[in-house]
Amino acid sequence: MNHVPSDQNHARTIFDLIAIALVVSILTAIHYTNYHYEMNYHILLQFAYYLPVIYAAMRFGPAGGILSGLLITLLILPFITHFHAMNPSAVYTQWVEIGLINVIGWLTGFLTEQERKASRKYRLALTVQKELVEKLKQESQERQRLEGEIRQTERLTALGHMSAGLAHEIRNPLGIMKVSIQLLAQEKVDDGVVSEYCRVLQEECERLNRLVNEFLSFARPKEPVRRRITLETILDEGVTLIQPALRQHHIELKQVRNQLDEKEVEVDPDQMKQVILNILINAIDAQGEGGVIQLERVSQAGFVGFSVSDEGSGISPDDLPYIYDPFFTTKETGTGLGLSVVHRILDQHGGKIVTTNRGERGVRVEIQLPCVKTKTFSSSLKK
């Protein structure tokens, strides 16, 4: 397909050359075949040479105008020198006409070439302008992204300061309440109404305790203790821990395995298990009962990781920009800290997370971690 325009231009060039040569030849033939006509007839006919000369100059530039003018000069020169009916004034007029044909050919070609150069400069300037506009657009998007990250960092910093005292103030009375409810349930084991109230209170205490733990985990992050480990090991441990929840909701976990299982990453295994569990728990909550959740190994340049795809109802496009913000949740019983913790852990490890709605239904969450470069045998021998 790329050769079509070039072939068309080549064919057009040949056609134009043939057309110019044909017109010049016809005009010259008329001169020589009508030798007996009066001189005024030949002078008028000679004006027609301007047409092919001007067209050649406009089509091929100064070279076309000059060459076509020289060709006409060579063809008409024998006629001028051998046409005895011409007086000296007519001969002079003919030579002036020939000179004008050559000058007009060169001048038209020169002006055409200048117009083409100006057109090329205009197109180049337009291209540069478009590139600058695109660059400014990209810089604006990058600035917006950085501003978003700065706002998120400011929110996280404020949240960390606030959580330090709040969590401890909540955990102490919460522990006392939990123990008191357990003692009351043991004393009133025969009273069904009291036992039911105690059960509800214990569940709410557990939920509050879980919220406080997630809050502390998010607000007071610990430094990761990194070690090299294969992706397969991390995923297998996370899948083992999530099996009871999968069975409870009658969900099948379909794993797509490949050679990426053997890739190594340098991470904190405990924190990575927390990432895997959070992502899988979110998928289970979104899925509800039954269906299939897909766990697939994925990779990019310098990164290796996994993706989790569920068959839930998806995420509203209006909510997607805020899903990593603390306390943002669409679940009735959610804390809104799960994805925030995941995002923070991945930031500490130089990883990244991408959440998108699937084409049919559900959500796809992709986690990428920097891949550890394995040393080759030859490089180890050199050392």
Non-local CB neighbours of 225 within 8 Å, separated by 6+ positions:
268, 270
Name the domain boundary from 168, 187, 219: 219
Tokens of 341: 């913790």
How confident is residue 88, by pLDDT bands cut at 50, 70 and 90? low
Same domain for 214 and 345, yes or no, is no
pLDDT given at position 219: 63
User: Is 332 domain-assigned?
Assistant: yes
Q: What are phi and psi of 355, to 5 degrees?
A: -115, 125
Digit-coded pLDDT (tens) for 220-262: 667 778 888 888 888 888 888 888 888 888 888 888 877 776 7
Same domain for 353 and 336, yes or no, is yes
User: Is 261 domain-assigned?
Assistant: yes
Domain tally for the chain? 3
Same domain for 170 and 288, yes or no, is no
Non-local CB neighbours of 108 within 8 Å, separated by 6+ positions:
53, 54, 57, 58, 65
Digit-coded pLDDT (tens) for 113-157: 888 888 888 889 888 999 999 999 888 888 888 888 888 777 767
Same domain for 180 and 233, yes or no, is no
User: Is 143 domain-assigned?
Assistant: no
CA angle, 119 then 122 then 126, to 5°: 140
How confident is residue 90, by pLDDT bands cut at 50, 70 and 90? low
Q: In percent, how much of the chain has pLDDT > 90? A: 0
Tell me the CATH number at 266: 3.30.565.10
User: DSSP label at 260?
Assistant: G
Same domain for 194 and 238, yes or no, is no
Q: What are phi and psi of 367, to 5 degrees?
A: -110, 130
Digit-coded pLDDT (tens) for 297-306: 888 888 888 9
For helices 192-219 and 338-348, the axis angle rounded to 10 degrees is: 30
Same domain for 47 and 15, yes or no, is yes
Amino acid at 280: L
Q: Where are the beta strands (DSSP E) in 219-351?
A: 227-230, 252-256, 264-267, 292-300, 303-309
Same domain for 88 and 162, yes or no, is no
DSSP β-bridge partners for residue 293:
253
The range of the structural domain enclosing residue 117 comes to 3-132
Name the domain boundary from 105, 132, 159: 132
Half-sphere exposure of 41 (CA within 13 A, CB side): 12
User: Is 380 domain-assigned?
Assistant: no
